[in-house]
Amino acid sequence: MSRFEEPQHSDFRRLNDSIGVDFRLWPHEIAQSRAHVRMLAERGIVTAKDAEALLAGLEAVEGELRDGRFASSDADEDIHMAIERRLTELAGAVGGRLHTARSRNDQVATDLALYTRERAAEAQAQLTHLMTTLLGRAEEHANWPLPGYTHLQRAQPVYLGHHLLAYFWMLARDRDRFAFTERQSRRLPLGAGALAGVNFDTDRQGLARELGFDAPVPNSIDAVSNRDFVLDYLAAAATCSTHLSRLGAELVLWSSAEFAFCELPDAWSSGSSIMPQKKNPDAAELLRAKAPRMVGHLAALHGVLHGLPLTYNKDLQEDKAHLFDAVDTLELTLAAATGMVAGVRFDRERMREAAGDELIAATDVADLLVRLGVPFREAHGAVAGLVRTALDSGRSLSQLSTQELAAHSQTLADHSEEYRAVLAQNSWLESKTSEGGTAAARLSEQLAAARATLDEGAAG
């Protein structure tokens, strides 16, 4: 019997059905169903005989799903109903007892929490792998100079190891965000029923322990309506993807002929359909392009939840499409970033040549004047004048005469030997001795701190 006199319209079925999206939740659905059956039997809500038949049927259904033999039916609205339908076909009428003391509302929320927890753990593992790769390349290139940039203009020289570690620390924060997401996914929704609880003396604490949750969600209304943990994953993924996009953008620039700082591995590059000489950094470009897609998923789910009345509404079905695509995209881009970082070849001489541009020592010259007692703003103006003189005459700063120095700063003219010592390339790098700076001693400290961070993550 049904309360409806008319069948559902075919277009409504296409709109309403989600099995094409949520099919991937089947391992979690099987796991929670097993735990649910065992709890029902322990509480005497179903007989031991019925529980045995249900567990045997679930094992058979799991085998079909694992082996790709599971046949969906046109009547399957989602993976939850599909599994129950197939269980009843295999086990008989007893299959109908599986849904005792359970609603699809708490069922779906539980599967999603299990899935999100699993993928948040995987994201942490992938981030650790990428961080390890970055740290290895930073150690390998600890003393390779290159220009640092602001506004995409040469600004101050740094060591390549120092530059690569900037991404390491971004990713360390990303890993912390996914660890938070994992913790937020450790409250069990199952047992909340449709919204108010169930009419049976169930054991939610036991279910939580069996399924690896810390405890049940304390409020049944919140249990079925909460999707914060999905937002947490999407927020972490959006920020992480933004970091990957910045890495991708630099790899694109650095591998261009105009920069020529590096060459990307063939395995992560593409050719041109018409220009045989081309080696395109397509993987790095896609790291850029995927980031706004991830931010879009986060914004879209905020839009779904915004103003949504409690408790369950069909709107919540949209959570899975956003989450699943974000998971797939993030895991693929993390793998791509790791592959590119591991295989990229840097051109030491080209970077050294670019870092040897004396104009990027201008700040060091200004700092020399400050150390000699000149106020910084006055020093800044004097050095700006020197730069203008050098550019207008097509010379470097070190080629300016003592008389030309005096025209802008008598203090510099009086200390011309110190001025010329500052313009020696190594001094630009090794003068940055503040904590977190690029000087070799500080970089060595940072490498040790990065190694310790990796070890802490592995221990956690």
* Residues assigned a catalytic role: 151, 272
Strand duo 215-216 + 153-159: pairing: unpaired
- Among 295, 331, 302, CA closest to 121: 331
CB 72 within 8 A of CB 51: no
- Residue type, position 227, single letter: R
Which residues share a beta bridge with 215? 187
CA distances from 172 to 15, 116, 182, 372, 456 (A): 40, 20, 15, 41, 11
- Among 444, 240, 458, CA closest to 329: 240
CB 353 within 8 A of CB 146: no
CA dist 127 and 133 (Å) reads 10
- Among 244, 280, 256, 241, CA closest to 152: 256
SS3 100: coil
The two structure tokens encoding residue 96: 């109908």
Residues 6 or more apart whose CB falls under 8 angstroms from that of 228 comprise 184
- Among 163, 150, 167, 162, CA closest to 360: 150
Alpha helices in 152-266 (DSSP H): 160-184, 204-210, 220-225, 228-254
Residues 6 or more apart whose CB falls under 8 angstroms from that of 436 comprise 442, 446
The two structure tokens encoding residue 111: 């599967």
The two structure tokens encoding residue 17: 């059905």
Sign, CA dihedral 85-75-325-236, equals: negative
Element (H, E) at 216: strand 215-216
Provide the 10 A C-beta neighbour count for residue 14.
Answer: 9
- Residue type, position 208, single letter: A
